[in-house]
Amino acid sequence: MRITLPMGRAVLFLCIFALALLVLIPMRLGLDWLGMDDRGVAAREAQGSVWNGRLVEAQFGDAAVGDVDAGLGFFPLLVGRARVAMARSGMDADQFGGFRGAMSVSGSEFGLDDMHASLPVADLFAPLPVSALELEDVTVHFDNGLCDTAEGLVRARLGGNLAGISLPEFVMGNAQCDEGALLLPLISQSGMEQLEIRIGATGAYTAEFRTMAVDDAMRERLALAGFAPGPNGYALAVQGEF
């Protein structure tokens, strides 16, 4: 016996079926679809659906983030923007510090929105004496490969000692765009130490740490540590990619 559904019920059935498929999209498939792996976001495992999932042992470039809850927002999709909100909680929040904010993709535009995070970068920036980058309400957008918007406070935690020279606890400053790149011009309270980090849309970066030398003994120690004299003190630079 053939069963024929009325047209209205058939359309309803198809809509429910399509909705079920959308609800069940795995987080891993959703991240691949959004190209998050090309943006430096990786995880050992992606659990749950793209709407309400979890990234296990997540990384942003080479910086470990830990386990974070993640979910794709529905309403931004209505205006053509894919926005994945993320937050770290529980034991990982105690170990790595707080982490919350969002990543968004819209056509040629990619960015971070309202990020509060502490990222361990000692290995990334070695031999510079920088242990962590702390972001407070940082928003950064790249459009067609160029920095379009940048704002928010950035603090870099220093290692505390460099070639026997005592360093301040941190340098800080506000994110900004400069010649198409994200620029983080960070300075200590005394003004004697400066860290300038420049990051491109692909994740390529340069970081230069500068400090003033007050006597010959300090100049000698800085030179032995690889620092070179310049117009703004002694400087050491590294480059790489997130």
Residue 75 sits in which domain range? 26-109
Rounded distance between C-alpha atoms, residue 68 and residue 241, angstroms = 23
Residue among 111, 115, 62 nearest 238 (CA): 62
Do 98 and 41 have their domain in common? Answer: yes
Do 175 and 148 have their domain in common? Answer: yes
How many residues are listed for the chain in this entry?
Answer: 242
Do 206 and 161 have their domain in common? Answer: yes
Question: Residue 23's pLDDT band (boundaries 50, 70, 90)?
Answer: low
**Which of 30-34, 45-49, 161-165 is the most confident on average?**
45-49
Rounded distance between C-alpha atoms, residue 112 and residue 6, angstroms = 47
Question: Residue 19's pLDDT band (boundaries 50, 70, 90)?
Answer: very low
Could you tell me the pTM of the whole model?
Answer: 0.83
pLDDT digits (tens, 9 = 90+) for 77-114: 888 888 889 998 665 555 556 789 998 888 888 899 99
pLDDT digits (tens, 9 = 90+) for 120-170: 888 889 899 999 999 999 999 999 999 999 999 999 999 866 777 788 999
Give the residue-averaged pLDDT of 187-214: 93
**What is the residue whose two structure tokens read 């970081």?**
207
DSSP letter at 78 equals G
- Above 60 in pLDDT, residue 9? no
8-22, 118-132, 177-191 — which is least confidently predicted?
Answer: 8-22
Rounded distance between C-alpha atoms, residue 117 and residue 17, angstroms = 39
The pLDDT value given to residue 151: 97
Q: Is residue 67 helix, strand or coil? A: strand
Rounded distance between C-alpha atoms, residue 34 and residue 36, angstroms = 6
The pLDDT value given to residue 203: 86
Do 160 and 140 have their domain in common? Answer: yes
- Above 90 in pLDDT, residue 207? yes
- Contacts of 193-197 with C-beta under 8 Å, sequence gap 24+, read 193/158, 193/167, 193/168, 194/232, 194/233, 195/128, 195/130, 195/156, 195/171, 197/156
The pLDDT value given to residue 239: 94
Does a structural domain hold residue 38? yes
The pLDDT value given to residue 2: 47
Rounded distance between C-alpha atoms, residue 196 and residue 173, angstroms = 10
Question: Residue 17's pLDDT band (boundaries 50, 70, 90)?
Answer: very low
Do 41 and 80 have their domain in common? Answer: yes
Q: Cite the beta strand spans of the chain per DSSP E.
A: 41-42, 45-48, 53-60, 63-72, 82-87, 99-106, 109-120, 130-143, 146-158, 161-162, 165-166, 170-174, 176-178, 181-187, 193-199, 204-211, 228-230, 233-241
More confidently predicted of 195 and 39: 195
Rounded distance between C-alpha atoms, residue 129 and residue 122, angstroms = 7
Rounded distance between C-alpha atoms, residue 216 and residue 214, angstroms = 7
The alpha-helical segments, DSSP class H, found in 35-156 are: 91-96, 122-125
Domain-terminating residue out of 109, 135, 164: 109
Rounded distance between C-alpha atoms, residue 113 and residue 116, angstroms = 9
Do 199 and 154 have their domain in common? Answer: yes
Average pLDDT over the chain reads 83
- Above 50 in pLDDT, residue 12? no
